[in-house]
Amino acid sequence: MASHRRPKQPSRTRVTVLTATAAAAVALTSQAAQADPKPTKKEVKAKVDKLYEEAENATEKFNGVKEKQDKLEKQVGDLQDKVARGQGELNELRNGLGSMATAQYRTGGIDPSVQLMLSSDPDSYLDKASTLDQLSTKQAEALRKIADKQRTLKQQRQEASTKLEELAETRKTLAGNKKEIQGKLSKAQALLNSLTAKERAALAAAEAERANRASSRADLGNALPSSQRAGAAFSAAQSKIGSPYVWGATGPSSFDCSGLTSWAYSQAGVSLPRTSQSQANAGQRISSQSALKKGDLVLFYGDLHHIGLYAGNGQILHAPKPGASVRYESINNMPFQFGVRV
């Protein structure tokens, strides 16, 4: 006989699971539909430019720490040389003291009064006794010199040890700065790689056109340098137009911003500090753009992480950013802070 029982209804638990699964699928589909669209070429460029600016900021920090490392390495080297020379001098003093002790021992250790009584020639003994007194005086002086040299060596070794610890911390900081810079540049490159080959080529062409236009059509007016050395520095920087920006570079074939200014002034016989923040204190500050003269240093951004040379007629000459080359640019393209006349 055929069965007429009603089919078994799905359990409430099973219905709940199926409903939840369906809801999750709908949510995922909705999220996919609402996901952020691929950034446009303009948006990518804005993000890349921001990363480049941050990388340049980190570069100036790197430059400052690198300068400190170089100074510490020299100080440690000088201290180690002093310690080595001092140890050599100490060894000579000890050898001299040993020679004197040996000579004194060879004269005999008999009590002077007994030796005088036994001597058949008192005058000869008195000469020997006088020599012994001189040896004792020399020994005392040698011991004093040895003690002084030991104290000096101890101080120098302690100073060298402190400098070595500071150098180790500085190198650690330097590695962190380097990692930060490389990280930002890598992010920028990843963003650029998200564009099509055609879009990347368009951005590169636009950057090249901007550089060529800025350098070939720059109207510098009739601005005169504030001094012969400022003029010489500016001429040196002009000779590097088209050289690539490379973080940490100080020339002669590539530069970062402060690397260009320090190199340019070095060609004029002027030594500038390594970083833009330090160069900001290298001369007389000029607060007004209208008072700037050719060759003056020009500082940008609140933290002074970018620097260039005033070129005249509202133009600067600088190493702009990663991916760009030394070129002229309007002073108004960045937040001007002040100028410095070296």
- State the pLDDT at residue 205: 81
**Residues whose CB is less than 8 angstroms from the CB of residue 342 and which lie 6 or more positions away in sequence, other chains included:** 227, 229, 230, 233, 265, 270, 272, 282, 283, 295, 296, 297
Judge if 188 and 231 occupy the same domain: no
Domain-located, residue 286: yes
Give the separation between CA 91 and CA 219, rounded to whole angstroms. Answer: 70
Higher per-residue confidence, 106 vs 252: 252
Judge if 97 and 54 occupy the same domain: yes
Give the separation between CA 330 and CA 31, rounded to whole angstroms. Answer: 45
- Identify the bridge partners of residue 318 per DSSP, sorted by sequence position: 327
Judge if 174 and 45 occupy the same domain: yes
- State the pLDDT at residue 184: 93
* Residue 218 in tokens: 């720059």
- State the pLDDT at residue 109: 53
Helices (H), the chain: 12-34, 41-106, 112-118, 122-193, 197-216, 228-238, 257-267, 276-279
Domain-located, residue 262: yes
Residue 227 scores a pLDDT above 50: yes
Higher per-residue confidence, 313 vs 112: 313
Give the separation between CA 210 and CA 103, rounded to whole angstroms. Answer: 86
Between vectors from CA 144 to CA 143 and to CA 147, what angle results, nearest 5°?
A: 85
Domain-terminating residue out of 176, 193, 210: 193
* Residue 276 in tokens: 């833009």
- State the pLDDT at residue 121: 58
Judge if 248 and 296 occupy the same domain: yes
Domain with residue 335: its CATH number is: 3.90.1720.10
User: What are 238-295's pLDDT values in tens digits?
Assistant: 999 999 999 999 999 999 999 999 999 999 999 999 999 999 999 999 999 999 999 9
Domain with residue 60: its CATH number is: 1.10.287
Give the pLDDT band (50/70/90) at residue 108. low
* Rounded average pLDDT over 161-181: 94
The residue type at 334: M
- State the pLDDT at residue 144: 81
Based on the residue annotation, tell me whether 225 is a catalytic residue of this protein: no
Compute φ and ψ for 198, nearest 5 degrees: -65, -40
Judge if 66 and 172 occupy the same domain: yes
Judge if 263 and 329 occupy the same domain: yes
What do you get for the CA distance between the two ends of the chain, in Å? 112
Q: What is the pTM of this model?
A: 0.68
Coil, strand or helix at 119:
coil
* Whether 182 contacts 108, CB under 8 Å: no
Among 327, 229, 236, which Cα is nearest to 282's? Answer: 229
Judge if 186 and 88 occupy the same domain: yes
Domain-located, residue 5: no
Based on the residue annotation, tell me whether 318 is a catalytic residue of this protein: yes
Domain-located, residue 115: no
Domain-located, residue 71: yes
Give the separation between CA 157 and CA 162, rounded to whole angstroms. Answer: 9
- State the pLDDT at residue 94: 78
Judge if 167 and 81 occupy the same domain: yes
Judge if 227 and 306 occupy the same domain: yes
- Identify the active-site residue in 45, 294, 305, 318: 318
Q: Structurally, how many domains does the chain consist of?
A: 2
CA neighbours within 13 Å on the CB side: how many for 175?
Answer: 6
* Whether 319 contacts 253, CB under 8 Å: no
- Identify the active-site residue in 44, 237, 257, 280: 257
- Identify the active-site residue in 306, 321, 327, 341: 306
* Residue 246 in tokens: 């490379």
Coil, strand or helix at 280:
coil
* Residue 220 in tokens: 């510098």
Domain-terminating residue out of 146, 178, 193: 193
Domain-located, residue 212: no
User: What are 70-91's pLDDT values in tens digits?
Assistant: 999 999 999 999 999 989 888 8
* Residue located via tokens 């500071």: 166
User: What are 31-67's pLDDT values in tens digits?
Assistant: 544 555 777 888 998 999 899 999 999 999 999 999 9
Give the pLDDT band (50/70/90) at residue 185. very high
Give the separation between CA 189 and CA 178, rounded to whole angstroms. Answer: 16
* Residue 223 in tokens: 């601005």
Domain ranges, residue 241: 220-341
Judge if 140 and 50 occupy the same domain: yes
Judge if 262 and 136 occupy the same domain: no
Judge if 52 and 187 occupy the same domain: yes
